[in-house]
Amino acid sequence: MPELEQQQLQQDLKQLAAHYPAQYILGFEEFYGHRLKVTEATLIPRPETEELVALCLETCPDEPLYVVDVGTGTGAIGISLKLERPTWEVAVVDLSPAALKVAQENAETLNAPLSFYEGDTLAPINQPIDILISNPPYIAADEWSVMDESVRTFEPKMALFAEEEGLAIYQKLAQQAKEKLKPSGKIFLEIGFQQGKAVQTLFQTAFPHKKVTIYPDLSGRDRMIVVE
C-alpha cells in the first residue's frame, strides 16, 4: 500500500475506534439507490426512512402534486421522491442553514429540482399541501443513555432530540397541517418505535375525519404514521 494511503487508513481507523461514524469519514451515504453527501451538519440517512419513501410512493398517485419534506437534512426524502415522481413539485424545509446547503448540493448533483426553505417546520410554506412528509427529531431526552455513542456524540442534536418526550415536532406539525394541508391531503411521518399510539392519537385528534394508521418497519416495530 502506498505510504499516503496507509497513513489515511490509520487515521480513519483511529476515528472509527473513537466512534466517529464511517459515513462522515467517507463523506457520503447510500439512500434509495442514490449517493448523498453527508456532513456533521446532517443526520445520516437510515434504511427505515427509505421505507417511509417507499410507502409514500406506493400509496400516492403519479400526478402533479405539491409535496413538502420537513426537516430534510441531506435532502434524502425530497430528492428521492422527486427523482421517482418528476411530476411532483417538491419543497424541502430545514431549520439548519448548513444542512440546507448540503441538501442543495445533493439535489444539484443528482439533478433533482427542488424548492428550498430555511425555517421552522411548515412556517415558510404558503401553498396548499398535497403530501406532507417528515422524519422529524423524535428522540426524548431520557433516551440519551440507550443511544449508540457514535450517534449521540457526533450527529446533530437538532435533528435528533425533541421536547415533550419526543413529541414536540409532531404536535407542531399537526396544528400547522390543519391550516396548510389540502382537504384531500396526506401525511407521512417517521416515528420512534415506542411512539405509535401517542402520535396516532395526536393526529386523529387534529384530523377527526381522516384515517390515521401505524405501519411497522422491516423489523416489525412501529415506525411510520400515515394520515389520509
Residue 187: which CATH number? 3.40.50.150
Q: How many domains does the chain have?
A: 1
For residue 60, what are the domain limits? Answer: 3-227
Distance CA 222, CA 137 (A): 16
Q: Using an 8 Å Cβ cutoff, are 73 and 122 in contact?
A: no
pTM of the model as a whole? 0.92
Q: Which neighbouring-strand residues pair with 161?
A: 139
pLDDT digits (tens, 9 = 90+) for 18-57: 999 999 999 999 999 999 999 999 999 999 999 999 999 9
Q: What is the pLDDT of residues 47-66, one digit of tens each?
A: 999 999 999 999 999 999 99
- pLDDT: is 143 or 174 the higher one? 174
- Tell me the three cell numbers of residue 9: 487508513
Q: What is the mean pLDDT of the chain?
A: 92
List beta partners, residue 215.
224
Q: What mean pLDDT comes out for the span 151-166?
A: 65
* Contact partners, residue 173, CB within 8 Å, separation at least 6: 70, 121, 122, 132, 134, 136, 187, 189
Beta carbons of 158 and 95 less than 8 angstroms apart? yes
Share of the chain above pLDDT 90, in %: 82
Cell numbers 443511544 correspond to 147
Work out the widest C-alpha separation in the chain, in whole angstroms.
66
Predicted confidence (pLDDT) at residue 191 exceeds the cutoff of 60? yes
Dump pLDDT digits (tens) for 92-145: 999 999 999 999 999 999 999 999 999 999 999 999 999 999 999 767 666 656
Report the alpha-carbon distance of residue 213 to residue 173 in Å, rounded: 17
The kind and range of the H/E element at 88 are none
* Choice between 165 and 67, residue whose per-residue pLDDT is larger: 67
